[in-house]
Amino acid sequence: MFEEFVLTASTADLSEESAAREHADAVEFRMDLASDPLDQLASYDGELPLVVTNRASWEGGEAEGLGRYDALSDAIGRESVAAVDVELAALRGTHPEPAEASHATALRDAAREAGVAVVASVHDFESTPEPAALVDLLADAASEGDVGKLATTATAPADALAMIEATHEATAAGHRVATMCMGEPGRHTRAVTPLYGSRIGYAPVDPANATAPGQYPLATLRELIDGLREGGADA
């Protein structure tokens, strides 16, 4: 997975999968936002592969404690699950809770044994660092997972440019990355960074249930990305 760009439909309700098929390549299942997530996984019979995310509260999600790893461990045993998202801070042991690292790396090892890709993710809800710092973060994340995901917050157009530049540089250096800026000034990066190498896009099936600031509706993002790609091919 992620050999090419993958547009994921983010949802906490797997019954929305059928509505996502027309535009999405996969579904990101937000287990931390879901009701009875393991039951939903057990009964899932959709066509799209799943990227499972059980986002920690300290990284902007709603999952509390180390029990979220148990749920993810169950999830990666499901045939429908193609990838799992794990926070870089946990994998690197930079989170204050020492047990995070052992749980995160054990999950990564189990995922790889099961043939499930690992997305090592970083979220900055306050700012966007300089391009060089972004490239370093992407390199760190990509070295810990099969894809390094970086989402920062843009407060000005320069932040969006920094993310685009970092995406290009990290990809040119051989790193497999997924990048985007949250917030209105960086919203367009969700459509543009795939042109510079970003491998994953995120959009809600239902715009009312956006899982991050600045997300486009699924159909809109698909149209934007495909249109930009076709325009580039014709140039």
Binding residues are 28-30, 55, 190, 211, 215
Binding residues for 3-dehydroquinate are 28-30, 55, 190, 211, 215
The reported pLDDT for the residue numbered 234 is 47
Which is the catalytic residue, given 149, 168, 175, 188?
149
Instruction: Report the mean per-residue pLDDT for the chain.
Output: 94
Dihedrals phi, psi of 16, to nearest 5 degrees: -80, -5
Domain range summary for the chain, segments of one domain joined by +: 6-234
> Cα(92)–Cα(120) distance, rounded to whole angstroms?
10
Whether residue 156 contacts residue 184, with contact meaning beta carbons closer than 8 Å, is answered with no
pLDDT, one tens digit per residue, over 195-217 is 999 999 999 988 777 777 678 99
By the 10 Å C-beta count (0-12 exposed, 13-18 middle, 19+ buried), 148 is classed as buried
* Count of positions (residues) in the chain: 235
Confidence of residue 232 (pLDDT cuts 50, 70, 90): low
Whether residue 177 contacts residue 197, with contact meaning beta carbons closer than 8 Å, is answered with yes
Q: Is position 23 annotated as part of the catalytic site?
A: no
Examine the pLDDT at 66 and tell me if it is beyond 70: yes
- Mean pLDDT, range 43-52, rounded to an integer: 97
Instruction: Kindly provide the b/e burial profile for residues 201-224, where b requires at least 16 CB atoms within 10 angstroms of the residue's own CB.
Output: bbbbbeeeeebbebbbbbbebbeb
Which is the catalytic residue, given 23, 95, 103, 123?
123
Q: What is the CATH number of domain 6-234?
A: 3.20.20.70
Q: Is position 103 annotated as part of the catalytic site?
A: no
